[in-house]
Amino acid sequence: MHSITPKLIKKRIALVCLFITFSAACLAARMAYLQIFHSSWLKHNALDQRLDDRTIYAKRGTVYDRTGKTLAVSTLADSVYAEPNRLQNAEETAAKLAAILQLDAAKLTQRFKQGGAFTWVKRIITPEQSKAITDLQLAGVGLTQESKRHYPNGNLAAHVLGFVGIDNQGLAGIELAFEQYLKGTPGRIVTETDPGGRQLPDGVQKILPSKDGQDLVLTIDQTIQFIVERKLDKALKDTQAKAATIVAMNPKTGEILALASRPDYKPETYDEYSPLNWRNNAISNVYEPGSVFKIVTASAALQEQVVTTGEQFVDPGYIEVQGNRIYNWDGGDGSEKGNFVDMVKKSSNYALISVGMRLGPDRLYQYIDNYGFGKRTNVDLPGEESGVIIPKNEVRTLDWATMCIGQSIAVTPLQLLTAVAAVANDGVLMKPQIVKEIRAKDGKTIQAYQPEVVRQAISPDTARQMRYILEKVVSEGGAGKAAVPGYRFAGKTGTAQVAGPSGGYEAGKYVASFVGFGPLDEAPIAMAIVLYEPKGAYYGGQIAAPIFSEIMREIVQYYNIFPAAKPAAAGEADKNKPSALLAIPNCLNLTVAEATRLLREKGFTVKTEGGGERVTDVSPGVGALINTGGSVTLYAAKQNPLQEGETWVPYLQGKTIRETGELLAQAGLSFYPIGSGIAIQQEPAFGTKLAVGSTVTVYFANRPPP
């Protein structure tokens, strides 16, 4: 057994002392390095661990329609948060919160057990959820108010307005396009806390207030938007179309008065819908326009003087191009004679291709460019497509011929409407406009958007000739169902096959459309109507033109535009007065037979739809002034008998707020008014069966001056 000598002990002690000395020297060197070279970094991180920095989201600017009605506004809503380091029982707290907020309790427990000074539980909760959480008085759980975007009209103008995300950022529509103006400037709350997340009594506390966003005034007219969307929903139901779009514009200024597409969504709950519903088909969907595009070909031919309105044609019903026979839409059996106006009225493929071939590709492409096809209109909405045009250096004779009749070219509804609006505006192409002005919170205008001329697409004289032709299309041609008795309107129908993904066309799939404008004496509105893949009838003149008529009947009333005076016959100058106007009597809730008899006694012609026994709606509305002999449509929806505690929603349109309140009170219903003036829209609709005590939302508007 070896013995430990004093010499060995001293040696070991020396080694231990040397190791300790070396370690201390290393630690000292490291401390000196950190203190000298990283002192600012250490100081910053130490402060960062003690500071709780929270964002104060700014209140977004309000969005108004052109008449001052609110379309989007920010309100305050509660959000719930937790301070995990202060929770008494993470599992119990998570279970209680999850039950109220419809969350996964296990995942919430896991988050709480990770610790920390702050975590969101759920952003933007309902008042009922907020009250339930407050009543629990859970330690380490709190509520804070955040800005929430509210759209008081539900899905109205959804594709114009867009929506915002949970952090108050614009994600679509105007909300995205004008984010820099609407969002405002976020603020901050900075407080110094202890390791448990509690605020230090003498610690740092700074509040940097947020700055609210600026307001937008749109060109949209809420009343016209209501009219358009109501008719669009009806059209979608009647035609069972896959999708549909209507856009209305002031042709003299380019201001968009209404823009609606289906399918749509409610902006406040956008995440509950498919992203396909968010798509704004008016600017993002391209399609072959069909015969509506003949307006471009005809105006180009007239402008270039390769045809006159009086030139006579003998139409054999087809035309051959490069060995391909292109037939007229009606099958092309037999020959028809007529001048160029007659050919456009009957939408002759033969005549329009013939004059298009006289133009040649260079001149045809010039007018395609003049009208703005193949490029974006630059409307202030995100997601706009430019359309599809075959490059001129690649176009074949057959392509060029079919382009003359709206094939081999793809456009958006807004592009097409903008082009046709130029015809209504003496040939001047205007940039589509969706925003009128940006305002500060004090109401002062920061930026006003003025009408913007793009170019002179055709001459004023050519535009005048085209208006004459297109009026004949409505009054005498294939667009007769677009007519409004007593008023002069112009327009053109279109029916096109749906292009297949790999070329050619898909059997049985069509796009029906109508584009028109008027009344011609004033031309306050141009409108495009596009129905995608309707079932059953699919010609534009059958299903799109009547929608135009129904909408324009209501718009001329809204604008107080009276029917044009009829020209006097020789020797009857004293009779040159407006034709007799009669108000449609109240025939609601009458039997169809009673209402029909009443209207016919007044001199109206009557149509009925719906198959029910009693009249639930009438178009034009009760009190509307139309010509003697004008057509009135009665809607008689089938209704089931009332059960105990149920009531019918009364007809409210045209009533004042006071009259509306009285009618609803008599029916045992509550009343939620929006706007002022007379009732223009109600939700639910007249004739809907509701439980007594339910709320009916009624929208009011003042008619603009004539």
| 291 labelled catalytic | yes
- Name the active-site residue from 79, 261, 291, 299: 291
- Report the distance separating Cα 161 and Cα 63, nearest Å: 8
**Residue 673 Cα distances to 89, 196, 666, angstroms:** 47, 50, 16
Q: Is 88 exposed, middle or buried (0-12, 13-18, 19+ CB in 10 A)?
A: exposed
In what helix (H) or strand (E) does residue 555 lie, and over which residues does it extend? Answer: helix 545-558
- Report the distance separating Cα 5 and Cα 239, nearest Å: 109
Q: Which amino acid is at 643?
A: Q
Contact (CB, 8 A) for 380 and 431: no
**Residue 182 Cα distances to 9, 160, 406, angstroms:** 81, 15, 40
Residues 6+ away with beta carbon under 8 Å from 505: 497, 498, 499
Which of 184, 243, 125, 149 is closest to 513 using CA atoms? 243
Strand 646-648 with 689-691, pairing: antiparallel
414 sits in the region (left: phi over 0; alpha: psi -120 to 50; else beta) called: alpha
Paired tokens of 15:
């080694």
DSSP of 614-653: B--EEESPTT-EEETT-EEEEE----PPPPTTEEEPPP-T
Q: Which residue has the tokens 């000292």?
A: 28
Contact (CB, 8 A) for 516 and 481: no
Q: Is the backbone peptide bond immediately before 519 cis, with ω within 30 degrees of 0?
A: yes
Paired tokens of 131:
């009250």
Contact (CB, 8 A) for 447 and 428: no
- Report the distance separating Cα 475 and Cα 481, nearest Å: 9
- Report the distance separating Cα 316 and Cα 337, nearest Å: 9
- Report the distance separating Cα 405 and Cα 494, nearest Å: 10
Q: Which amino acid is at 351?
A: A
Q: What is the CA radius of gyration of the chain?
A: 35
In what helix (H) or strand (E) does residue 341 lie, and over which residues does it extend? Answer: helix 340-345
Q: Which residues are catalytic?
A: 291
